[in-house]
């Protein structure tokens, strides 16, 4: 337009230094400026604003690339290959791309945001236990996050109903007694009908955890790993988590066998007692132990009598150190839930 910067600045009623700063990319074009530019150049204000928007986005993305490079060491602490193998996260060709995939997986924009959530307890309402005391907080956080993502896609037949859950405990135990091939699917359906989410998430090699219970908004979530394949372990863990839901607060998270410092051991014992009593009550246990000897026939008949599963009786005997760990193995089948 054969117009000097000084003349242009004069026509748009802006200081020379403002126009120089815009040309150098150190200052932005405001809406008011864009309208003034339109008056002088006859080029629409939308054109100038779009250019500014694209340039701002470019600068932010360049900054994100720098942040990704700075977080490469953080990324390397995750079992990325194992997470890819489990299809939790996409494969990536570069370290920076892996960082971006991890940010997307956790729903955070920076390494600091991840640390604030999982280590520094900045969001206490949702996550009241710091993973900083665990052996591998990175793997543990990935396991928990995967469970959270699974829970988001789970179908619930109703909102949570504590009264209905208590009334359904006997039906849940019946599934254990019946020992059907698809027992876990039936159990998940019963949980859904009570407004509770039951999910199975396989362990990561560096996150040895049995299960977790937490509330997401007003929905209780039980996340099991199936770490120990025994039928008795699975059912004990399940009812242990149910105990946390019925006995303890919505604002707490319970991670089982994860070595969390500060986790309330009294509440863990209460959940243990809850599970033990459902599987085999104290009075039934005392009567059962009067047998003194526990051949196969006694185990089978006692399981029928006390309405439980033989694996539960064998597990109780091992826990009390009445029989050796290898005895009664034929009753405790291995199960795969994930």
Q: What is the pLDDT of residue 145?
A: 95
Q: What are the pLDDT digits (tens) for 8-43?
A: 999 999 999 999 999 998 999 999 999 999 999 999
Q: What is the pLDDT of residue 263?
A: 59
Q: How far is CA 304 from CA 186, 202, 308, 315, in A?
A: 21, 32, 7, 16
Query: Going by C-beta distance under 8 Å and a sequence separation of 6 or more, which residues neighbour residue 36?
Result: 12, 13, 14
Average pLDDT over residues 224-253: 90
Structure-derived torsion over alpha carbons of residues 104, 107, 112, 118, reported in degrees to the nearest 10: -120
% of the chain exceeding 70 in pLDDT: 95
Rg (CA), the chain: 29
Please enumerate, as own/partner, the contacts of 236-239 that have beta carbons within 8 Å and a separation of 24 or more.
Answer: 236/275, 236/276, 236/279, 236/312, 236/315, 237/210, 237/211, 237/275, 238/172, 238/187, 238/198, 238/211, 238/275, 239/172, 239/274, 239/275, 239/278, 239/279
pLDDT bucket at 129, cuts 50 / 70 / 90: low
pTM of this prediction? 0.82
Q: What are the pLDDT digits (tens) for 206-233?
A: 888 889 999 988 999 999 998 888 999 9
On the question of pLDDT at 122 being above 70, the answer is no
Q: What are the pLDDT digits (tens) for 131-154?
A: 877 788 999 999 999 999 999 999
Q: Could you tell me where the DSSP H helices lie in 194-330?
A: 231-247, 265-279, 282-289, 296-305, 310-319
Query: Going by C-beta distance under 8 Å and a sequence separation of 6 or more, which residues neighbour residue 335?
Result: 184, 226, 229, 230, 231, 234
Which one has a higher pLDDT value, 252 or 146?
146
Q: What is the pLDDT of residue 123?
A: 47
Q: What is the pLDDT of residue 206?
A: 87
Q: What is the pLDDT of residue 125?
A: 46
- How wide is the angle at C-alpha 212 spanned by C-alphas 206 and 218, nearest 5°? 140
Q: What is the pLDDT of residue 152?
A: 93
* SS3 call for 258: coil
Fold designation for 5-66: 434 Repressor (Amino-terminal Domain) (1.10.260)
The residue written with tokens 């193998």 in the block is 85
Element (DSSP H or E) covering residue 198: strand 197-200
Token reading at 77: 């602490």
* 10 CA to centre of own chain: 59
Which one has a higher pLDDT value, 244 or 132?
244
On the question of pLDDT at 81 being above 50, the answer is yes
Phi, psi of 200 (to 5 degrees): -120, 125
Identify the CA nearest to 191 among candidates 217, 169, 213, 210.
Answer: 169
Where are the domains positioned within the chain? 5-66, 81-279, 282-331
């Amino acid at each position: 337009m054969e117009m000097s910067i000084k003349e242009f600045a004069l026509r748009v009623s802006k200081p020379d230094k403002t126009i120089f700063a815009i040309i150098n990319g150190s200052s932005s074009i405001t809406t008011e400026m864009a309208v003034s530019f339109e008056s002088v150049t006859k080029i629409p204000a939308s054109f100038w604003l779009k250019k500014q928007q694209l340039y701002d986005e470019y600068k932010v993305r360049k900054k994100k690339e720098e942040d990704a490079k700075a977080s490469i060491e953080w990324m390397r602490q995750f079992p990325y290959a194992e997470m890819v193998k489990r299809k939790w996260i996409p494969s990536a060709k570069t370290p920076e791309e892996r960082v971006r995939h991890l940010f997307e997986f956790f729903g955070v924009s920076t390494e600091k945001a991840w640390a604030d959530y999982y280590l520094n307890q900045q969001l206490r309402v949702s996550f009241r236990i710091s993973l900083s005391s665990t052996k591998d907080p990175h793997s543990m956080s990935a396991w928990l996050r995967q469970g959270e993502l699974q829970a988001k896609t789970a179908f619930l037949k109703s909102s949570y109903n504590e009264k209905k859950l208590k009334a359904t405990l006997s039906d849940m135990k019946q599934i254990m007694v019946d020992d059907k091939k698809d027992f876990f699917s039936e159990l998940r359906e019963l949980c859904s009908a009570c407004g509770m989410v039951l999910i199975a998430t396989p362990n990561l090699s560096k996150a040895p955890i049995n299960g977790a219970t937490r509330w997401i908004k007003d929905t209780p979530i039980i996340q099991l790993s199936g770490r120990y394949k025994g039928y008795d372990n699975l059912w004990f863990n399940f009812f242990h988590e149910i105990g946390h839901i019925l006995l303890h607060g919505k604002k707490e998270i319970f991670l089982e066998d994860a070595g969390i410092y500060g986790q309330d051991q009294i509440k863990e014992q209460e959940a243990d007692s809850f599970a033990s009593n459902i599987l085999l009550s104290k009075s039934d246990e005392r009567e059962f132990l009067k047998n003194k000897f526990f051949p196969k026939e006694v185990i089978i008949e006692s399981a029928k009598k006390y309405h439980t599963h033989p694996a539960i009786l064998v597990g109780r005997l091992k826990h009390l150190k009445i029989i050796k760990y290898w005895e009664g193995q034929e009753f405790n089948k291995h199960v795969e839930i994930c």
